[in-house]
């Protein structure tokens, strides 16, 4: 009986082990440890004009034309007041093609830096929007909460509707902080699938004693068709070297 019992326990342990491995994320969605600098895209002037004129009722072609006397009198939202007054000098800073609002569509998502006149560091120097077009028809126009780049387009749950991994970043006293979130625009609405919050914190440019770098790797596993896979955030740290030597520090939200 003992050999049978041992074999049974071994079989159960094997099943559990296989089940655990099958849910462990294996594919990398994005590695923020890598140098992911990209060349800014060039949008033809005709495309810029077509997109911006359909997104904004009125806008300025150059920030030099901003009214220095503009004040958002009576408004507790300076950026909204500037947009309403046409005191903006917007430009397209990124774009990607895919099916964003519904499956089977041929669409282009344009990321727009609105550049509200007089927007300060406290305002992230202005808001950002995503405008989705089908040909020359505006399908969706949404504020994206200061997210300022498309890091990756994907369709993780294989439903024919693309998700976008979007990032935001700012520099403060030589420390670069970057956040990321996986977003879908299904149905013409912004839906945050998962907010990873901080994915990069690099103080190496500050020159302060004890400067260091932290970065996340976002990965995922396989799941049945139509379901979003489990997304895992693993965090790494390194001292400031020309070639960083990353060591694992945690999983989940990046520690402060």
pLDDT tens for 113-156 read 999 999 888 888 899 999 999 999 999 999 999 999 999 999 99
Among 16-30, 77-91, 171-185, 220-234, name the one with the lowest average pLDDT. 16-30
% of the chain with per-residue pLDDT over 70: 89
More confident position, 85 or 35: 85
Q: Taking 50 as the threshold, does the pLDDT of residue 19 lie above it?
A: no
Interacting residues of 10 by C-beta distance below 8 A, sequence separation 6+ = none
pTM assigned to the model: 0.86
- Mean pLDDT, the chain, integer: 88
Q: Is the model's pLDDT at 9 over the cut of 60?
A: no
**What's the Cα-to-Cα distance from 230 to each of 116, 122, 153, 225, rounded to whole Å?**
38, 35, 17, 13
User: Contact at 8 Å (CB) between 240 and 204?
Assistant: yes
**In angstroms, rounded to a whole number, what is the distance separating the alpha carbons of residues 118 and 50?**
25
Residues facing residue 30 across a β-bridge: 218
pLDDT at 182 over 50: yes
Of 149, 152, 182, the closest CA to residue 167 belongs to 149
Rounded CA-CA distance 239/236 in Å is 11
Model confidence at 50, pLDDT cuts 50, 70, 90, reads very high
Residue 143, CB half-sphere, CA atoms under 13 Å: how many?
8
What would the pLDDT profile of 71-124 be if each residue is shown by its tens digit? 877 778 899 999 999 999 999 999 999 999 999 999 999 999 999 999 888 888
């Amino acid at each position: 009986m003992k050999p049978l019992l041992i074999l049974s326990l071994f079989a159960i342990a094997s099943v559990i082990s296989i089940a655990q491995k099958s849910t462990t994320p294996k594919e990398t969605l994005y590695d923020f440890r890598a140098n992911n600098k990209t060349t800014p895209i060039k949008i033809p002037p005709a495309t810029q004009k077509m997109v911006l004129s359909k997104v904004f009722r009125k806008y300025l072609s150059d920030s030099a034309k901003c009214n220095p006397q503009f004040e958002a009198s009576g408004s507790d939202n300076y950026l909204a007041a500037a947009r309403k007054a046409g005191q903006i000098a917007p430009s397209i800073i990124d774009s990607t093609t895919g099916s964003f609002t519904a499956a089977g569509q041929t669409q282009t998502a344009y990321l727009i830096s609105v550049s509200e006149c007089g927007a300060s560091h406290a305002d992230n120097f202005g808001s950002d929007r995503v405008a989705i077009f089908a040909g020359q028809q505006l399908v969706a126009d949404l504020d994206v909460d200061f997210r300022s780049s498309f890091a990756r387009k994907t369709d993780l749950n294989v439903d024919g509707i693309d998700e976008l991994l979007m990032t935001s970043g700012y520099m403060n006293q030589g420390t670069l902080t970057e956040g990321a979130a996986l977003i879908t625009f299904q149905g013409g609405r912004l839906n945050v699938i998962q907010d990873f919050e901080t994915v990069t914190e690099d103080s190496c440019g500050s020159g302060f004693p004890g400067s260091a770098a932290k970065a996340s790797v976002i990965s995922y596993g396989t799941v049945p068709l139509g379901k979003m896979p489990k997304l895992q955030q693993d965090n790494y740290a390194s001292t400031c070297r020309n070639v960083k030597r990353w060591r694992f520090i945690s999983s989940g939200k990046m520690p402060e």
